[in-house]
Amino acid sequence: MSTLPVTAPRFERLDALRGAAMVWMMGFHLCFDLQQFRLIAPQNFYEDPFWTVQRSLIVSLFLLCAGAGQAVALVQAQPAGRFWRRWAQVLVCALLVSAGSAWMFPRSWISFGVLHGMAVMLLLVRFGLPRRVLGRGGTPLLLLGVGAVLVALPLGVQHPFFDSRWTNWVGLVTRKPATEDYVPLLPWLGVMLWGLAVMLWAMGRRAAWLALPVPPALRPLVLLGRWPLTVYMLHQPLFIGVLTFFTRA
């Protein structure tokens, strides 16, 4: 598989895709907040397929991009220090999300949401299975297969042992926990592996296409996609603050 040099620049197309996920997520959360402030008709964000399917697609897009980002790091041999700095930021933000959600939703606070899941998945992708598969002559196609197995596993394997807050992070639950966000390792690690595999293939076979700049109209998405963690952490406090101001004015 041909690769790009270590000094290769960022891929604007990947940043734009990540930025599109951010816009979709912010729109979803804004609708949720508008309902919380009773500014739109009541919606069932927990059971209505219109909302639950959107949530699954948004999380999938984020994790595909995260896997693709790890493929770039692997091919460009990015230093461990850079990984650990970013990982620490994700972990700290995950803890802040838990604390904030416990304050706002004490009965359904977030113990293992998207950032918690991503922190664990990044460790596994960076140091675990992908290195073993690729290091033994495996191909991105094999990683796709492994990802498919992980995605399918919770459909056939569940056990009450995994229903507690201490163990539901694995994902083999018999019932979804009462929480505002839940992104366990299974099936979502499989989705991240899909992103890793597709990006490895693209960097080997379509590197020139990946390196092309995006159209000017998509530049705002590129900017959003380069600051995903900052946007993720700030958009909800901003939405809630603005809505609180206008509803009390």
Share of the chain above pLDDT 70, in %: 92
Peptide bond into 184 cis (omega under 30): no
- Distance, C-alpha 192 to centroid of its chain: 8
Residue 193 included in any domain = yes
Say if 37 falls within a structural domain. Answer: no
Are 154 and 187 in contact by the 8 Å Cβ rule? The answer is yes
Q: For the chain, what is the mean pLDDT?
A: 91
Quote the number of domains for the chain.
Answer: 1
142-169: per-residue pLDDT in tens?
A: 889 999 999 999 999 999 999 999 999 9
Chain centroid to CA 196: how far?
13
Nearest to 97 by CA among 117, 85, 84, 115: 115
Alpha carbon 229 to its chain's center: 10
Within a domain: residue 63?
Answer: no
Inside any domain, residue 95: yes
pLDDT value of position 134: 67
For the segment 92-119, what is each residue's pLDDT rounded down to a tens digit? Answer: 999 999 999 999 899 999 999 999 999 9
Higher-pLDDT residue of 1, 61: 61
Instruction: Judge contact between 1 and 207, C-beta under 8 A.
Output: no
Residue 149 lies in a domain: yes
Q: Which amino acid is at 47?
A: E
pLDDT at 136: 58
Structural domain boundaries enclosing 133: 79-206
Can you give the pLDDT at residue 6? 42
In a domain, 23, yes or no: no
Mean pLDDT for 170-178 is: 95
- The answer as to whether 97 is a domain residue is yes
Angstrom distance (rounded) from CA 154 to CA 163:
13
pTM: predicted TM-score of the whole model, two decimal places: 0.90
**Residue 106: inside a domain:** yes
